[in-house]
Amino acid sequence: MTNHQEPGVQDLLHRATGDLSPDVETLVAGGIARGRTRRQRRRVGTAIASVAAVGVIGAGAVVVPQLFGDASTPARGARGADENRQVASAPEVRAQRALIPTDQMEAVVRRLLPAGLAVTGLSVRFDRADPKSPAHRINFTVDGASVSIYIDQYNPQWRLDKGYEPITIDSECAQSSSCEQADDGSYLRKESRVPQWGEGMGPANQVSNDASFWGVDGYRFYSMALNTGAEKGSGGIVAVEPPLTSEQLATIISSDLWYR
Amino acid sequence: MSKDQEFEEFAVLRTPHLYRTAWLLCGDAHRAEDLVQDTLAKVYVRWTRKLGRRLENPAGYAHTALVHTWIDHQRRRSSHERPVGELPEQGTPDGDPSLRLSLAAALDALDPMDRAVLVLRYLDDVSVAEVADRLGVSPGAVRNRSMRALSRIRDVLGTSLPDLLIP
């Protein structure tokens, strides 16, 4: 037991949650189902990596289905915007370039933005909220509307070992018909949508243009332009449409200027 | 008993506590349920792995996985939450909804790591050293975050804190 300075807070947390009664049976069944899917994906990913390592890519189409039978998750092709596409893992990291220093990112953002925009409040923060996976967060407004860019690394094995959510392309692209692979192996997703923050946290009529980029340097970029002054809560609608299109965001986040 | 059966037995026993922790981290029932299922999935994969040692402390592993998963969700939430066709139904509130509402609002004001520290220390009753180990930070950082979280909670709840502390 710990020696808390605030026994009242400990009691408060216990009282606030002590009578919560989750549907344990449903949660356990759901957890096991997700776990089986996750395990199967890892096996498929490992099988594909093994096949690729010995240069027998052509044999993979034959070997992988035989390994897992008809009921298994197939290793679907990665290229194109086919909604049946599924990718087993993130792009292979090749000759990873380092990102530019944090203090140079503001200048890069300004250089990549279309000319003539009224940009205010541009901030770049190196966020260590997750100590094992720090990320850059870039926020600014254009004509009062919120734009954000987020950069971190994807898919190292330790994410799984540490109990982190594994970052795979299919978890993002499977939900989008607009995720495509470029010739260099990187992936780019562009879409417009209505954000759903839940619990009434987002303003009504809020819309978002998004772009995500998984580069072969091992970094993933998310970008989002809203027609509101903030992502959720306060901020309100400031325009009918976000100030940047998904295409413009995609151009920004896939630029070589982000690397040394 | 098979590994699947062992895991299910563990999960049934542990899920209520995981859910309480998840609720304090997420502040709502639906996200807490999602977080618990993601966590159970990770523990399931580790539990049923054919190679490697058995989990020495599955409960600790599960709680660490839950907190890390939540932190990871927090970092990515603002950038890729998916739209849904219809708003989900609100979960049926149990017990004292006003208490939970006030507490959720106060917890929402915290930095994610501060919130995780607070929940681990005061709900799960985990020592400073173990919280530091689970979150990959120093014990000093845990103490600082804990103090900052408590101070922030007091600021947000204001004069209502004493009222909430009275059973």
ipTM for this model: 0.82
Q: Tokens 């970008």, residue?
A: A223
Neighbours of A80 (CB within 10 A): 11
Nearest residue on chain A to B39, judged by CA atoms? A31
Render pLDDT for B94-104 as a digit per residue (tens, 0 to 9): 456 677 778 88
By residue range, what is the domain housing residue B165? 93-167
Lateral strand order in the sheet of A179-181: A119-127, A135-142, A145-153, A219-226, A208-214, A187-193, A179-181
Going by C-alpha positions, the residue among A163, A150, A182 that lies closest to residue A253 is: A150
* Range of the structural domain that residue A48 is part of: 7-68
Q: Please compute the mean of the pLDDT values over residues A165-179 and round it to a whole number.
A: 60
Q: Which residues of A fall within a CB distance of 8 Å from B23?
A: 17, 20
Whether residue B86 is contained in a domain is answered as: no
> Do A164 and A132 form a contact (C-beta atoms < 8 A)?
yes
Q: Mean pLDDT, to the nearest integer, of B137-160? A: 83
Q: Is A93 within a domain?
A: no
Residue A51 above 50 pLDDT?
Answer: no
For residues B8 and A79, give the distance between their C-alpha atoms in angstroms, rounded to a whole number. 38
Integer-rounded Cα radius of gyration of chain B: 17
Taking CB atoms and an 8 Å limit, are A12 and B103 in contact across chains?
Answer: yes
One domain, residues A161 and A221: yes
pLDDT > 50? residue A199: no
CATH number at residue B160: 1.10.10.10
Report pLDDT for A163: 58
B165 and B141 both lie in a single domain: yes
Q: Which residues of B touch A157 (CB under 8 A)?
A: none
In a shared domain, residues A116 and A196: yes
Both B71 and B99 in one domain: the answer is: no
Is B88 within the bounds of a domain?
A: no
pLDDT number for residue A130: 60
Say yes or no to pLDDT of A258 above 50.
yes
B100-123 pLDDT per residue, tens: 778 888 888 888 889 999 999 988
Neighbours of B25 (CB within 10 A): 25
Residue A93 has pLDDT above 70, yes or no: no
Which of B39, B55, B76, B155 to mutate against chain A (most A CBs within 10 Å)? B76
Mean pLDDT of A43-55: 50
pLDDT higher at A227 or B154: A227
Q: Which of A6, A130, A196 sits opposite B84 (nearest CB)?
A: A196
Instruction: Kindly state whether residues A200 and A118 are assigned to the same domain.
Output: yes
Residue B88 has pLDDT above 60, yes or no: no
A107, A60: one domain: no
All residues of chain B having their beta carbon less than 8 Å from the beta carbon of residue A136 are none
Number of domains in chain B: 2
When comparing pLDDT for A127 and B127, which is higher?
B127
What's the confidence (pLDDT) of residue A236?
Answer: 79
Task: Give the predicted TM-score (pTM) of the model.
Answer: 0.49
Residue B136 lies in a domain: yes
Domain count, chain A: 2
Residue where one domain finishes, among candidates B78, B107, B139: B78
The per-residue pLDDT for A252 is 95
Q: What is the mean pLDDT of chain A?
A: 71
Highest mean pLDDT among A75-84, A134-143, B94-103: A134-143
Interface residue B100 vs chain A (CB under 8 A): yes
| Amino acid identity at B85 | G
- Do residues B72 and B108 share a domain? no
B46-66 per-position pLDDT tens digit:
888 776 677 788 888 898 889
Give the H/E segment covering residue A122.
Answer: strand A119-127
Query: pLDDT > 70: what percent of chain A?
Result: 58
Put simply, the answer to whether A131 touches B137 (Cβ < 8 Å) is yes
pLDDT score at B62: 92
Sequence-distant (6+) residues with CB within 8 A of A259 are A97, A98, A99, A100, A217
Does A106 share its domain with A228? yes
Tell me, yes or no, whether B87 lies in a domain: no
One domain for residues A211 and A108:
yes
Task: Provide the H-helix boundaries in A142-245.
Answer: 157-161, 169-173
Distances (CA, A) of B70 to A196, A218, B22, B112, B159: 18, 23, 8, 9, 30
B6 in A contact zone (CB under 8 Å): no
- Number of Cβ within 10 Å of residue A128's Cβ equals 12
pLDDT value of residue A134: 67
Which of the four pLDDT bands, split at 50, 70 and 90, describes residue A66?
A: very low
DSSP code at position B89: P
- Check A42 against B153: CB less than 8 A apart: no
CB pairs under 8 A between A and B: 200
Judge if B102 and B167 occupy the same domain. Answer: yes
Q: How many helices (H) and strands (E) does chain A have?
A: 7, 7
Same domain (yes/no): A50, A138: no
Residue A16 has its nearest CB partner, among B99, B125, B150, at: B99
Q: What is the share, in percent, of chain B residues with pLDDT greater than 90?
A: 21
Higher per-residue pLDDT: A166 or B119: B119
